[in-house]
Structure 1
Amino acid sequence: MDLFASPILVALQKQLDASALTQRVIANNVANVNTPGFKKSSVSFTEELRRALGEGDLPLATSNPRHIGAPVPLARVEPTVVKEEGTTMGYNGNNVDIDQEMVNLAANTLVYQAAARALGDRLSLLAYVIRGR
């Protein structure tokens, strides 16, 4: 049995990766707030993680992972960057709202800190068990 392949550890690692990517995307959006024609990006991850963990809709019964409706294995869930082309905030065609980006940054920071804390606590528990105290 692989101690580090548990669904909790994998989900936390994936969340940390997604939060790091989100940080880079937000930084890019903020850096281009005054660039004419720039379209902001966002990271899509939460819904994919929920589906992989089996939350939400009732899952379909499948006997093969290639069947339609089969849940995506947790190890294959990856964050994706999505460019938002359909909106415009300013006269120059840019759609970055600096206030919204700052809110996204604060929320992402909290998510990252919570995931890092949960992962650290989980690994501390494993270390405690291994030491046998």
Structure 2
Amino acid sequence: MTVDQLIFDYLFQLSLNSGYSTYDHLPLETENAPYPFVVIGSVQTLPVVTKNALQGQLVANVDVWGDGEGRFKVSQMMNDIFVQSSQPVELDGYSVRLKIDDYDNQIIQDTSVPNTVLNHGMMTLVFNLN
């Protein structure tokens, strides 16, 4: 399995294990996804190849969506995912550790759906891969 898929699966399972509705895409209107929910988005691999191993960084984007009154819940969910992902983990022989000093998050109000205000939390998680 590729390292980007390993971290994607890890974050997806971490979110599910926390009891959050979790998707690999922004749910379609026909999916009737209740708020709040988590979307595990893109994962970028920044490899550093050595003689003996693949090292580098993995950059993962995680979004949390809540309704207009759910900002506090969105913030809690983001913090929970951050805290849980900050624990070092072994994934298929790779040692993966979150770079806490590179953590980035924000919550914005999204009005892209007519007559609706949503809270959109966006996190960027950077992992060292050894």
Q: TM-score normalised to the size of structure 1?
A: 0.28
Whose RCO is larger (CA < 8 A, sep 6+)? 1
The structure with more helix, counted as a fraction of residues = 1
The structure with more strand, counted as a fraction of residues = 2
